[in-house]
Structure 1
C-alpha cells in the first residue's frame, strides 16, 4: 500500500470493501447465530455479552441500546467491583484479564439460567479471561457465539492452559475479517494504522439482531426491542419491558 492510501479516503475505501465482503461471506454464520439468539429470546432467556478492551464497544452495541434486544446483559471485568465487592484498585492491573479465575467469578456474579446464551467478543480470541468465560459457559450447557478475527487468532499461539482459543469453543464463529493486529492501513517502513474490528463487528452484531428479529416475527413473536429513551414514552416503555427480566439484566450508567 502506498503512502497516498494512508488517509481518510484510503480507510473509507478499504473499510467499505471489507464490509461489503463480510455481508456476503458471513451470511450463513449470521443466520446460525440469529437462530441461537431467537431461540434464547423465545425461551425467556437472556443474551450475555462479554468482551474486554475495545471489544467492550461491541458489548455496548448488543446489550442495552436503542433498537436492540431487551433481554441482553452486559458482562464486564468491572463487575468485580460493581457487584462483587472488590476494591476499585483491582481494575488498575493491566494484566487482570489474563488472571485465572476472573471469568469464573464474573459468571457466578451474573448467575445465568440454563436457557441463556453467551456472545463473547475478542479480536485475538486468546486472552485467558475470554477463553475461560467460553469454557465456563459451555461447561454449564450454554450456547456460545464468538465474534473474533480468524486471521489474527490463527496467527498467534493459545495462551490458556487448555490450549484452546475462543474460536475452538464457540458454537458459531462470526469472523470480523480484521487483519492480525487489527490495524488496516500499512505505513511506509512498517506498522499500520486505523483499527477495523469495531467497524466490522458492529455490522455483524446488527446483522445478527436484524436476523433474530426476522426469525421471531416469522414465529409470531414480537421482538422485545428498546425504544430510544429520548422519544416520548420511550423510557417508560423500556422499563415495562425490562420488568420481564428483573434481576437478570444490568443497566449501569458506566
Structure 2
C-alpha cells in the first residue's frame, strides 16, 4: 500500500477523528473526574496538576490560565531545583521522570491539604516519578485522576519497581486516545509523524474544567475562574481570587 507524505490537511482530519472518539468514549470518566474535583473544591481543597515531558502542557491547561479554575497548582519536575535545593544538572536527560526518587520531594514541596485532588498526566503512564507521586497521593488519602494513552501504556513495560502503571493506581483513568508511539501519520520512508496526545489531553483538561464550572453554577455558587490578565480589570479580578489560596498555588513563569 502506498503511503502518502504527511500534510496539514491529513493531520487535521486524523486529529479530528481522535478528538471525536475521545470526547465520546471518555464522557463518563470526565463526569466522574469533575465530581471528584468539585467535591475537593467544596471541601476547601485545590487541584494539584502534574505532568512530565510534553505532559506538562496538561498541567498548564489546568493551572493558572484564562478561563480556568483559580484553586489549582502546577507541580513541575524543575520544582526540585527551584524550591528543593537540587542541582540544576538533575534536569538534564530523562532520568528524573523515569526514576522514583524525586516524587517524595515533589509531594513535600507541594505541601498539599488533605482535601486536595491530584490530576496527573503521562502519555506512557509508566515512568517512575508520576506513578510514585500517584502512590504517595493515594497513601495520604487524596483522590487521584490519571490521563494516559491506553494503547501506549499497555504496550510498554512499567518502570516503577512495583510493576504498576498510572492507570492501576488512580481513582479515575482517562484515555487520551493517542496511538502507540503518539504520532498519527505514517511516512513514506517508515515511521509516523505528528503527535496527538497534547491536543487530546488538553481537550480532557478543558472538558473537566467545564463540567466542574457547570456543577458549581448548578449549586447556585460562583465558580472561581480566571480572567485573562491581558484585558482591563483582569489582574485585579485574579488577585482577589488568588488571595483565597495564598501559599497554596504557585504562579511562577
Structure 1 length-normalised TM: 0.97
For residue 3 of structure 1, report the CA deviation from its aligned partner. 3.2
Residue 77 of structure 2 corresponds to 77
For residue 2 of structure 1, report the CA deviation from its aligned partner. 4.5
Does the CA contact (< 8 Å) of 2:183 and 2:195 recur in 1? yes
Does the CA contact (< 8 Å) of 2:5 and 2:188 recur in 1? no
SS in 2 for 1:29: helix
For residue 190 of structure 1, report the CA deviation from its aligned partner. 2.4
CA distance in 2, matches of 1:99, 1:27: 32
Residue 181 of structure 1 corresponds to 181
CA distance in 1, matches of 2:179, 2:223: 34
CA distance in 1, matches of 2:115, 2:215: 18
Residue 101 of structure 1 corresponds to 101
Write the deviation string for residues 161-201 of structure 1: whole angstroms up to 9, x where unpaired: 11100000111111000001100011234210000001111
The equivalences for 1:104-115 within 5 A come to 104-115=104-115
Does the CA contact (< 8 Å) of 2:99 and 2:160 recur in 1? no
Q: How many residues align?
A: 253
Residue 88 of structure 2 corresponds to 88
CA distance in 2, matches of 1:220, 1:154: 42
CA distance in 1, matches of 2:192, 2:210: 33
CA distance in 2, matches of 1:230, 1:189: 45
Residue 212 of structure 2 corresponds to 212
For residue 87 of structure 1, report the CA deviation from its aligned partner. 2.2
CA distance in 2, matches of 1:115, 1:201: 24
Say if 1:158 and 1:99 are closer, same or farther in 2 by CA, change over 3 A: closer
1:242 aligns with 2:247: no
* Unmatched tracts of structure 2, length 5 or more: none
CA distance in 1, matches of 2:12, 2:172: 29
Q: After superposing the two structures, state which structure 1 stretch, 92-101 or 237-246, moved more.
A: 92-101
SS in 1 for 2:15: helix
Residue 23 of structure 1 corresponds to 23
* Unmatched tracts of structure 1, length 5 or more: none
Tell me the C-alpha RMSD between the 2 structures. Answer: 1.2
For residue 159 of structure 1, report the CA deviation from its aligned partner. 1.4
Structure 2 length-normalised TM: 0.97
SS in 1 for 2:28: helix
Residue 131 of structure 2 corresponds to 131
For residue 5 of structure 1, report the CA deviation from its aligned partner. 5.8
